[in-house]
């Protein structure tokens, strides 16, 4: 049994979790906010943008995508991997632009997939199109160092 360390997206506290158990939801030991069950991306909507992104104590990698977008589906496995690998340092979210046009318009999204790197809800980097995992990691590391 291996434990996982997940950073709470709401308060930034690092939580040590036992292996996932069916029917049991993980919550932060400090603020009791729900934790991502598998360390995967969090679904972000126009309604949850403030709580999920702007109030996050760690940087957020936000994947803006649409179901009809072929390149978005090509990038999705990379985004899922990054969510699991960087769960203790970066929060990864996915926002469907067709279902959440307000946030897409707010950031002037004209092409997808677009990856936004945000700190306190403010854009600090942007990658447009399918990107190699190493390039995304490099850009995230630059943000984490600053």
Best CA proximity match to 13, nearest among 62, 49, 57: 57
What is residue 111's predicted lDDT score, i.e. its pLDDT? 96
What is residue 9's predicted lDDT score, i.e. its pLDDT? 65
CA distance readout (Å), 4 to 7, 113, 131: 10, 29, 27
* CATH assignment of the domain containing 77: 3.40.30.10
Q: Which residues pair with 14 in a beta bridge?
A: 7
Q: Quick check: is 113 in a domain? A: yes
Per-residue pLDDT tens digits for 87-101: 878 999 999 999 999
pTM for the model stands at 0.76
**Percent of all residues in the chain with a pLDDT value above 90, rounded to a whole number:** 60
Q: Quick check: is 62 in a domain? A: yes
**Enclosing domain of residue 77:** 39-145
Q: Quick check: is 60 in a domain? A: yes
**How far is Cα of residue 66 from the mean position of the Cα atoms in its chain?**
16
Q: Quick check: is 17 in a domain? A: no
Domains in the chain, number: 1
Q: Quick check: is 135 in a domain? A: yes
Per-residue pLDDT tens digits for 3-53: 667 777 667 777 887 766 666 777 888 988 777 666 678 889 999 999 889
102: left (phi over 0), alpha (psi -120 to 50) or beta: alpha
* Active site residues per annotation: 69, 72
């Amino acid at each position: 049994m291996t434990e996982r360390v997940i950073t709470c997206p709401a308060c930034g506290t690092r939580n040590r979790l036992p292996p996932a158990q069916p029917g049991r939801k993980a919550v932060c030991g400090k603020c009791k906010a729900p934790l991502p069950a598998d360390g995967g991306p969090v679904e972000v909507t126009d309604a949850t943008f403030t709580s999920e992104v702007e109030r996050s104590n760690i940087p957020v990698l936000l994947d803006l995508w649409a179901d009809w977008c072929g390149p978005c589906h090509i990038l999705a496995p990379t985004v899922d991997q990054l969510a699991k690998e960087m769960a203790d340092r970066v929060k990864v979210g996915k926002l469907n632009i067709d279902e959440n046009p307000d946030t897409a318009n707010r950031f002037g999204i004209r092409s997808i997939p677009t990856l936004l790197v945000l700190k306190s809800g403010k854009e600090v980097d942007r990658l447009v199109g399918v990107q190699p995992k190493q390039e995304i990691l490099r850009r995230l590391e630059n943000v984490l160092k600053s």
